[in-house]
Structure 1
């Protein structure tokens, strides 16, 4: 059960990840020198001739991109995939806005589908960015700056060209109106931008900022239309009742606010014949159907109201897929395996609140979630316990710190949680076959006693001021009721006044953005290569940011993030990330949940996709992998329609 969390604000690129990295570095690009473009064949790969600037079609973090400049299409797509048909998906809650970059309002999850960045990643490489709106990038060996040479054919869906002025406008808009943490990191990394001509813009980076992936971060900038913003008097920080104008393959078609949104493929999309886009964006229309209730969403799928479903409920997967459309073959039930980093899902404890500032209290709360019992009794044994913010990768901290980790950690000793230097990495308890694990109960009680929360004659715990230790789980998803309620029972057994607040989507989002909660279900959006986004997730700049639900902050963490994003090679980055993982886990900011290396997928039998699939499949709600590379089989679809399987 992976709970997707909708982020309605811009997150700095986490090193252009399309997936994990154990063998995910790039190799072998084609480059040119700025004054010797015609002699490109004589330039060694990945190097600039005679110390001059490099001109390239892409860039990697620890090595050059795998695809040469003259690649014909991505290796994992079907270049002959037909265009046509519709794909439709269920979305949680509702929406009242089309601005995905603000905390105000609830944006349509697909509201950024028409927007494009300067560069884009792929689903078979990690840390590599290829030109999209730009045709080439130009940069010196120092990476002190980068010039983006824009494609002259690039245009917005209204036919106006994408120019350097639009890029500058986008940079300045996100710099001035983006999330506070984004603005803080952008100010640290980027000195400024300069328009050279209509199709050329240069970004300069701050002198003391790590250079490893600054170009990828700049290339990840979403490009907005300056004309659209001015004509519609848009404000990036405000909710919007008008869809954005973009340069991407899809455009807004229609919507029933809060219930349905539909986007159609732009037949005049400027980039349809680019090698990076061949075999992609194959559907004529993309439809999102919103449901406040997960059961209602499932019933709608069974009735054919939408056509593809990523199942995130173990009980539904184990017991619910026995309905006519599946039994007669109209619906396919399958599992898809990928090599992605496990999502760092958990119950995040709001450390901004005084009662949770003692780590012993947070540790005690976490001890009372019995995963073994939950997996056996509730999840049908389908899940693996999450232990790390980088689970299912070699970036996960294990055992005691290595010598390389200690070299980073020891100078930070004064700011480290107790035991980090000498003890094994924090791992949640295994639990037992009984819902209330007696060993964990005793450990939790002892920790709460030590923290000054003592059980009174009524069995409830209070501090020296007589304040009751209350813990409220905020939850807007009925699927989680059966998981949270046993945890609440266990907490109450140890004297904690635990309750669950069942809220609707609007209240959930409002309280989430205002940090008005004790414990919330969420994710820490980490990635397989450490990037600038870690400052928003764990850094001091992000302590009051929605991407940091627990409010984690520490000088030691800031230092380790900087070391990780400054690393010149993968192993140095991995060591720093393991140390970071070790420190954050030792703060007990969350109750880690569970993950599944397989994706549960059900769909009406009218879709096809490449075989084999790429290793790092996007599972984002707004851009799932099948929206990118699957296609519509018109003959199969017609058979479904004749059979009355679809509405």
Structure 2
């Protein structure tokens, strides 16, 4: 229900429209003298070469080349201490990118990229949507037309075993991710990145396809993790196979102690090279980050009350309203805060898998959406704490309102017959309203039955919703046993309404491992989960909403395949100004709502957190994340006081 709720993962507290940061390409990497002509010669025919400490598509970096640290951090934050968080479910390894198994959610924190990327979920920087800054690379070089880019790497970066990082490692990782990595990413990148070339040990060049948008090319390859080629050769590890080994990366944290399905500790990397880098000043302040695993939501919350973990992001409105009355909170040992959330809320709700009949039919999806009673859910299950979500871009400048006009209308009109005529003249699709006094709204039921009848579904004399051949509509709703009681109750109420309409629904809960497998395989008709929001244009939009990778992309739980949406994304990628970008994003929001792939649930315009009073943070938080694991710090004196009082063990 919360903007912060983590539906298929845990210990993830900040988010952004940024999508898959990892990947590779099946293009060859050449090295050393075999790269033939010198870098200068290869650029001799190019004009308007840009060389910079960072990258922004529109060229408007916030921080200059000599910046000392990000504005929102405390550069004098003390280092030390431990913060403990929670997760539900299980884990069986540390290869975050395996196609099978149930890897630890945060296992990719051991690695870094040429440009700084989110480590614990907080954007880097957390005060700009459009900027990327060099990290393993010291500079990025590219022509004005962005047909290629060159990364000039630092010579002081080492992996956690102390071995130096070379351009060959970056090229190796790039190829590895395409050959063995996430299929949707590999497919997209191989069509956009035509080559990666090792110029020398510290210089790497990427070339890009012609006649494609220049969006998300440089920041995409720059945001890809860099892992050790030698480590993979020595261990024989594969990226697509589960593993108990943690990949060899360069990051500030490494896997320390762990016990599968019980806990994992990420500890400070003693060989970390980058403590004084401007990107890192004031960040990565904890010595240890521990994650405790619990079997269910009740055990998890009881563990927090008992001090088994020390920071909690609350996702249950019921628990936030009624559960925080335990002694440690009353005494002030635990702090409870609501922090205004300035980012777009995640698009949580009942999502329909458009690969599977009958929810491959837009009208059927519309009818089934009418069974969701947000008003009853808010009053009966969410303590009136949630707000109705209207849009995929809720409360943002690019939220579609009313009929299209101005630049948005011009864009939609330019797309031709792929745009339904009503999209040009009618207001954006809005959520239905429902009677809060009962779980099923009779007015909405009558409307839904009319829509279903027109789509070929009627109620027979046995009260079953059947097609023209007498086959009852049957739906599979994927539910995880580890989900909290509020979400389960919301699903149960919705499912019972569908059953009252004569629809057979299987909503038996499964464990987290089976749930992850079914989620990846899209083995469901409906699921209560989330679709990423968006604040800018990038090729990640194709992975989240595009047809080409719909069947394999885990970022597209609806498996949406819409020529309309595809055309808008292509137009968005060609935007040359932020104004054009806003118009395209508004059109995208309008089109997604038209497709009716989700029955939107409510959202909370705040982040709810509770923690034992031994952590501190900057007074002014950045707009894109709370950053508890990124730029908060530990207060030793407060910790000692909590120990002395018995609040902590």
Q: 1:465 aligns with which of 462, 469, 484?
A: 469
Structure 2 residue aligned with 1:228: 231
1:498 Cα shift? 3.2
Q: Is the aligned partner of 1:581 residue 2:581?
A: no
Q: Is the aligned partner of 1:64 residue 2:56?
A: no
1:293 & 1:147 partners in 2: Cα distance? 48
Alignment of 1:464-483 (within 5 A): 464-476=468-480, 477-479=483-485, 480-483=487-490
Q: Is the aligned partner of 1:360 residue 2:368?
A: no
Match of 2:107, SS? coil
2:389 & 2:89 partners in 1: Cα distance? 26
TM-score, scaled to structure 2: 0.90
- Report the more deviating stretch, 532-541 or 400-409: 400-409
Match of 1:355, SS? coil
Alignment of 1:393-432 (within 5 A): 393-416=396-419, 419-432=422-435
Structure 2 residue aligned with 1:595: 603
Match of 2:177, SS? helix
1:418 & 1:546 partners in 2: Cα distance? 31
Q: Is the aligned partner of 1:632 residue 2:646?
A: no
**Against the structure 1 CA distance between its residues 395 and 107, is the aligned structure 2 distance closer, same or farther, given a 3 Å change threshold?**
same
1:176 & 1:208 partners in 2: Cα distance? 25
Alignment of 1:513-524 (within 5 A): 513-524=520-531
1:175 Cα shift? 1.9
- Report the more deviating stretch, 283-292 or 406-415: 406-415
Contact 1:543 / 1:552 at 8 angstroms: preserved in 2? yes
1:368-390 deviations in Å (ceiling 9; x for gaps): 11111211121111111222222
1:266 Cα shift? 1.4
Q: Is the aligned partner of 1:247 residue 2:250?
A: yes
1:456 & 1:78 partners in 2: Cα distance? 67
1:92 & 1:63 partners in 2: Cα distance? 42
Q: Is the aligned partner of 1:392 residue 2:395?
A: yes
1:199 & 1:106 partners in 2: Cα distance? 36
Match of 1:637, SS? helix
1:610 & 1:6 partners in 2: Cα distance? 30
1:575-609 deviations in Å (ceiling 9; x for gaps): 11221221222111111112212100000000000
RMSD: 1.9
2:518 & 2:251 partners in 1: Cα distance? 33
Q: 2:491 aligns with which of 472, 484, 494?
A: 484
1:173-232 deviations in Å (ceiling 9; x for gaps): 112222221112102221111111101101111111211332111111111111111111
Contact 1:17 / 1:127 at 8 angstroms: preserved in 2? no
- Report the more deviating stretch, 598-607 or 240-249: 240-249
Q: Is the aligned partner of 1:495 residue 2:485?
A: no
Structure 2 residue aligned with 1:107: 103
Structure 2 residue aligned with 1:23: none
**Against the structure 1 CA distance between its residues 488 and 546, is the aligned structure 2 distance closer, same or farther, given a 3 Å change threshold?**
same
Q: Is the aligned partner of 1:511 residue 2:518?
A: yes
1:293-334 deviations in Å (ceiling 9; x for gaps): 011100000000000000000000000000011111111011
- Report the more deviating stretch, 570-579 or 297-306: 570-579
Q: 2:541 aligns with which of 501, 514, 534?
A: 534
1:99-149 deviations in Å (ceiling 9; x for gaps): 111331111112111111111231001111000111011111111111101
1:490 Cα shift? 2.0
Q: Is the aligned partner of 1:326 residue 2:359?
A: no
Contact 1:193 / 1:201 at 8 angstroms: preserved in 2? yes
Structure 1 residue aligned with 2:449: 445
Match of 1:383, SS? coil
Structure 1 residue aligned with 2:646: 644
1:51 Cα shift? 4.3
Q: 2:617 aligns with which of 603, 609, 624?
A: 609
2:18 & 2:476 partners in 1: Cα distance? 35
1:469 & 1:365 partners in 2: Cα distance? 11
Q: Which 5+ residue runs of structure 1 have no aligned equivalent?
A: 19-33, 36-49, 619-624
Alignment of 1:160-199 (within 5 A): 160-199=163-202
2:471 & 2:420 partners in 1: Cα distance? 26
1:417 Cα shift? 5.3
1:424 Cα shift? 1.4
Q: Is the aligned partner of 1:556 residue 2:564?
A: yes
1:362 Cα shift? 0.6
Alignment of 1:38-53 (within 5 A): 51-53=47-49
Structure 1 residue aligned with 2:74: 78
Contact 1:17 / 1:528 at 8 angstroms: preserved in 2? no
1:606-635 deviations in Å (ceiling 9; x for gaps): 0000011111106xxxxxx10000000000
Contact 2:158 / 2:271 at 8 angstroms: preserved in 1? no
1:508-533 deviations in Å (ceiling 9; x for gaps): 11111111111112221232112111
1:411 Cα shift? 4.8
Contact 1:57 / 1:137 at 8 angstroms: preserved in 2? yes
Contact 1:137 / 1:146 at 8 angstroms: preserved in 2? yes
Match of 1:442, SS? helix
Structure 1 residue aligned with 2:120: none
- Report the more deviating stretch, 79-88 or 517-526: 517-526
1:34-91 deviations in Å (ceiling 9; x for gaps): 99xxxxxxxxxxxxxx944111101112232111111111110011111110011111
Q: 2:87 aligns with which of 71, 78, 91?
A: 91
- Report the more deviating stretch, 464-473 or 323-332: 464-473
1:548-591 deviations in Å (ceiling 9; x for gaps): 11110122222211211221111111111221221222111111
**Against the structure 1 CA distance between its residues 192 and 7, is the aligned structure 2 distance closer, same or farther, given a 3 Å change threshold?**
farther
Match of 2:133, SS? strand
- Report the more deviating stretch, 301-310 or 510-519: 510-519
